[in-house]
Amino acid sequence: MASIQSLLELQKIDTALLQLSHRQANLVERTNLTKAKSTLTATQSGQAIATAQLEKVKSQITNLELANKKCEAQIVKYSQQLRTVIAPREAEALQHEIETVRAERSANDDQELLLLETSERLELQLKDLDERINAGSVAVALATTALSEAIKGCETEKKLFDNQRQVVAAAIDLKVIKLYDNKRNKRTTPAVADLHGSKCQSCHLDLSVVELAALKKIGDSEIAECPNCDCYLVV
């Protein structure tokens, strides 16, 4: 049958189309974009965490400074009282109050110093995160472009195959196309294959001499089929 050669050609185009769609679904550019996006997202959440930490530290510093202002005011108040007090016991009590408030102020200063160090560290960290976010955004943009280029390439290739397919299919009897489609829909391996030596190129099994001889006897009105996998065979 003359159209079996064209059918084989059609099958080759369909195989190529299938491989192309598989390739398009598994583009390395898509994986790269996903990776770039998740890196950026992770950096952004790191930035959100560091920003929140910095805000907290800054508000703690503000609170300590307010507390120290109160301490200063108390020290001034007690010192003024001390000047007017006559009884030694009261003077002693005031002295004690002043010492207590001074100790509190000093502890606040120590804590503020630590918080200032933390805030400096966080600011540096945020600067670094900012740079990484900028770089990450560029990486995402580049990966997006690369992916869309790769998809475009696949689509161009697909158009070429589609055109080839139309030309090849137009030369084949519609009834044969239907037979081919039926067979193709029922299997994952090629529905049409040729022989390399005695090996079917669909199932990759060898045909016996007897089987080969029988297939060669098949007339033009029939299409030879592989005795192992049932595909149409070009013999």
* 75 versus 203: smaller Cβ distance to Zn ion: 203
Those residues whose C-beta lies under 8 Å from the C-beta of residue 13, and which sit 6 or more positions away, are: 161, 164, 165, 168
Count of residues touching Zn ion (by CB under 5 A): 6
CA distance 235 to 228: 15
Token pair for residue 178? 């239907």
Our CA angle for 226, 228, 205, nearest 5°, is: 95
In the bound complex, what is the minimum distance in angstroms from residue 13's beta carbon to Zn ion?
Answer: 20
Number of neighbours of residue 112 by Cβ within 10 angstroms = 19
| Residues forming a β-bridge with 194 | 234
Q: Helix, strand or coil for residue 190? A: coil
Site for Zn ion contains 176 (CB under 5 A): no
Site for Zn ion contains 224 (CB under 5 A): no
- Candidate list 53, 228, 234, 235; residue touching Zn ion; CB under 5 A: 228
Site for Zn ion contains 229 (CB under 5 A): yes
Site for Zn ion contains 234 (CB under 5 A): no
Using alpha carbons, list the distances in angstroms from residue 183 to 1, 162, 178. Answer: 17, 20, 9
Whether 233 and 215 have beta carbons less than 8 Å apart is answered as: yes
| Residues forming a β-bridge with 225 | 232
CA atoms within 13 A on the CB side of 68: 14
Only segment of 42-50, 112-120, 197-205, 208-216 that touches Zn ion (CB under 5 A) = 197-205
Site for Zn ion contains 203 (CB under 5 A): yes
CA distance 117 to 220: 90
* 7 versus 150: smaller Cβ distance to Zn ion: 7
Site for Zn ion contains 200 (CB under 5 A): yes
Only segment of 39-47, 95-103, 106-114, 219-227 that touches Zn ion (CB under 5 A) = 219-227
Only segment of 23-31, 108-116, 178-186, 196-204 that touches Zn ion (CB under 5 A) = 196-204
Site for Zn ion contains 226 (CB under 5 A): yes
- Candidate list 11, 32, 108, 202; residue touching Zn ion; CB under 5 A: 202
Only segment of 59-67, 103-111, 158-166, 223-231 that touches Zn ion (CB under 5 A) = 223-231
* 139 versus 193: smaller Cβ distance to Zn ion: 193
Q: Helix, strand or coil for residue 174? A: helix
Binding-site ranges for Zn ion (CB under 5 A):
200, 202-203, 226, 228-229
